[in-house]
Chains A and B, each alone.
Chain A
Amino acid sequence: MICAVAQPGHGDLAPGGDDMTDQATPIALEDTKPARRAGRPSRHLTGWLLASPLVVVLAVFLVLPIAMIVMVSFWGATEWSIYPAFQFDNYAFLFGSDVTYRVFFNTVKYALITWAFTLLIGFTVAYFLAFHVRSLGWQVGLFLVCTIPFWTSNIIRMISWIPFLGREGLANSALLSWGVIDKPLEWLLFSDFSVILAFVHLYTLFMVVPIFNTMMRIDRSLLEAANDAGATGRQTLWHVIVPLTKPGIMIGTIFVVTLVMGDFITVRFMSGSQKANVGRLISNDISLLQYPSASATAVVLLITVLIVISVLLRFVDIRKEL
């Protein structure tokens, strides 16, 4: 393709005198290079200058706060005061308490289960949109339909589950009136079930978008080639579409896992404050003004999430997708 495009260009140049340009070019290049070096700041400096606005933004709004948290995590605290120090008390307490392990386990559990459901639903929706909806208009339309829940805030979307799932809620009364159950189901609300349901509801779109995006880039002739080679629909899905969708799955996974692991409000609302995750641990500490302890927990959580992401990134070259 490139050749075909380039050739007419060559043809156009030729009448101008190939000999002239051929000889002139190297000389011209050698002439301009030193001049450029003397007259302008070096490429190195230009690069840094161009990058500096972003560097400043990231330094002030990302690096500095994190450094602050790390610093405070080594401070000391009493019931009524916080004092600067460099001690490992907060970490010692954190790792010495089995509450920490249970809460971290719970957080990972939420992340894993939510991930499994969002992946399943997200992949299916994306697959349907990308391969079964033929016209672009419909694809865009249905995609927008997927985003409708995002027109309201997270909190409202969460709270709207409560009248549905509660003891006297829609779900229970419907099941009761159909005679499926004799007494209201207690586990529908303020349970792991409702927490995960809300997570899945909130975050599935974060799985749909990157997967859909990767799927749309799959060359359709690959599917024909698979069909030509005798692959059934399921085989094509498993041997062609899934491997080629991996980067999208990974990006979606990173979104969902980080969102769920960092969340505290969903767990609080949907479990009626009966379940805990790391986010709630931190938020409780903050509400008790125990900033050093909250910082230490935050640092451990941050490291945990970074480890998870670095493991995920080993599976896929994310740069190809950006």
Chain B
Amino acid sequence: MRSDLDLELVKLTKRYGDALAVDGIDHLFPAGTYACLLGPSGCGKSSTLRMIAGHESVSDGSILLGGRDISHLPPAKRGTAMMFQSYALFPHLSVTENVGFSLKMKGTDKATRRKRALEMLELVDMTKFADRLPAQLSGGQQQRVALARALITEPQVLLLDEPLSALDPFLRVRMRGELKRIQRELGISFVHVTHGQDEALALADQIVVMNNAVVEQAGPTREVFDAPATSFVARFIGAHNVIALPEGKVAVRSDALRLTAPEGAKLQGQVIAVEYQGTHVALTASVSGDQEVTALLTDKDFFGTPRNPGEAVGLDWDGQAAHPLRA
């Protein structure tokens, strides 16, 4: 369903000299979705985000937001706001002044500025730090301030450039819950660039997997995870085996594999490693054609019939669990 607040990329291209950073990608971000641009470093996801934000010029193609072409507008006129990877808080300004910066640039009076800034700080639960300087805040607190500063411009789309990468793992998990909550509360679109598949899975309604300057696969998160279209996606998103069968390559989720007797199974192999992971056991077997396949078994299943490295096993799966891969 199209809404007039959709963000759409049309044949969006970025060239640096001869090098193609983004190669004519098309994508529609429906209004109010949390979308993650996922891919390895250098895949063009950051360039894409920076083009949407207006911090990188568009070489070709266009960016549409709410039906108007924003590709050549200055960043503040686009209806987008960006949250920077390093937060980019102004070190000489207090938290409140940082958050109210864009209003000050517009010439809003001081009282209104402070009031609106405090509202934003309320949203990110930072009211009690309102008069501190950024250097007096922890990483997570700085990030909340950066978020408040971006949101005060009332953007239709918030762009986040690897927002969690500078945080420690514990804080990362907490902040991602926070991001999701704020996105739901505000109902605007978030476009979040990350190279962490767990982050993308946890947050996104929609995942856009990029590789080598193009979109490998895009769609609702569960669809992408359940049915990766290419072996790159299957490997990058994890928890999948890419198995070359006589009829072509397929992706099978590790937890969809069953251990059986070697006779009559779809694959025969030999156990090469068993790794206990608490709730699960990961069993790696080498199968014909020098492939390695990992099966994720519940601890109950595995310890019901334990296997040791060197043992011959059969691997089986339901027909619909195998997804043929494009490439």
Q: Is the interface of A mostly helix, strand, loop or mixed?
A: helix
Chain A, interface size category, equals 20 to 34
The contact of A226 among B53, B85, B101, by CB within 8 Å, is: B101
Does the CB pair A229–B55 fall under 8 Å? no
User: How many B residues face the partner with a CB closer than 8 A?
Assistant: 28
Interchain CB contact (< 8 A) of B101 among A1, A221, A224, A229: A229
Chain B, Cβ-Cβ closest to A6: B168
Given contacts A221-B88, A222-B90, A224-B55, contact A229 B149 (CB under 8 A): yes
Which 5 A-B pairs have CB atoms at the shortest separation, nearest pair first?
A230-B76, A229-B102, A225-B88, A221-B88, A3-B168
Per a CB cutoff under 8 Å, which of B92, B153, B168 touches A229? Answer: B153
Residues of B36-91 whose CB lies within 8 A of A: 53-55, 74-77, 81-82, 84-86, 88-91
Residue of A nearest to B78 (CB): A228
Query: Could you give, for residues 207-246 of chain A, a 1 whenever the CB lies within 8 Å of some chain B CB and a 0 otherwise?
Result: 0000000000001011011111111100100011001100
Q: Which listed residue, B55, B86, B89, B168, touches A227 by the CB 8 Å rule?
A: B55
Q: Is the CB of A228 within 8 A of B168?
A: no
Partner of A1 from the list B75, B150, B166 (CB cut-off 8 Å) is: B166
Q: Report the minimal beta-carbon distance from B74 to chain A, rounded to whole angstroms.
A: 7
CB distance from B178 to the nearest CB of A (A): 19
Q: How distant is the Cα of A232 from the Cα of B104 in the complex, in angstroms?
A: 12
CB A7 to nearest CB in B, in angstroms, measures 8
Which among A3, A228, A244 is the interface contact of B82 at CB below 8 angstroms? Answer: A228
Chain A residues in contact with chain B, CB under 8 A? 1, 3-4, 219, 221-222, 224-232, 235, 239-240, 243-244
Task: Give the contacts of B113-135 with A (CB-CB under 8 A).
Answer: none
CB distance from A226 to the nearest CB of B (A): 7
CB contacts (< 8 Å) of B168 on chain A: these are 3-4
Say whether B81 contacts A228, CB under 8 Å.
yes
Chain B contacts for A227, CB-based, 8 A = 54-55, 74-76
Q: List the A residue with the shortest CB-CB distance to B84.
A: A221
Interface contacts (Cβ under 8 Å), in number, total: 67
The answer to whether B84 touches A229 (Cβ under 8 A) is no
Query: Complex: how many Å from CA A228 to CA B106?
Result: 12
Nearest Cβ on chain B to A115's Cβ, whole angstroms: 23
Which residue of B55, B89, B153 contacts A230 across the interface (Cβ within 8 Å)?
Answer: B153
Which residues of A lie under 8 Å from residue B85 when comparing CB positions?
221
Q: How far is the CB of B268 from chain A (nearest CB, A)?
A: 36
How many angstroms from the CA of A268 to the CA of B88 in the assembled complex? Answer: 50
Query: Could you say which of A219, A230, A240 contacts B102, with CB atoms under 8 Å apart?
Result: A230
Contact A228 B166 (CB under 8 A): no
Given A222-B90, A228-B53, residue A239 in contact with residue B104 (CB < 8 A): yes
**Does B90 contact A225, Cβ atoms closer than 8 Å?**
yes
**What are 21 residue pairs bridging A and B, where the CB atoms are less than 8 Å apart in the complex?**
A1-B166, A4-B168, A221-B85, A221-B86, A224-B55, A224-B82, A224-B84, A225-B149, A226-B101, A227-B54, A228-B53, A228-B76, A228-B82, A229-B76, A229-B105, A230-B77, A230-B105, A230-B153, A231-B76, A239-B101, A244-B90
Min CB–CB distance B142 → chain A (angstroms): 12
| A1-B166, A228-B75 as given contacts; A235 in contact with B105, CB under 8 Å | yes
Give the Cβ gap from A70 to chain B, nearest Cβ, in Å: 40
Chain B residue with Cβ nearest A242 = B92
Chain B residue contacts of A232, Cβ below 8 A: 105
Contact A219 B86, beta carbon cutoff 8 Å? yes
A219 to chain B: which residues have CB within 8 Å?
A: 86, 88
Which residues of the other chain, A, contact B89 by a CB distance below 8 angstroms?
225
A231 in contact with B81 given A3-B168, A225-B90, A243-B92 (CB within 8 Å): no
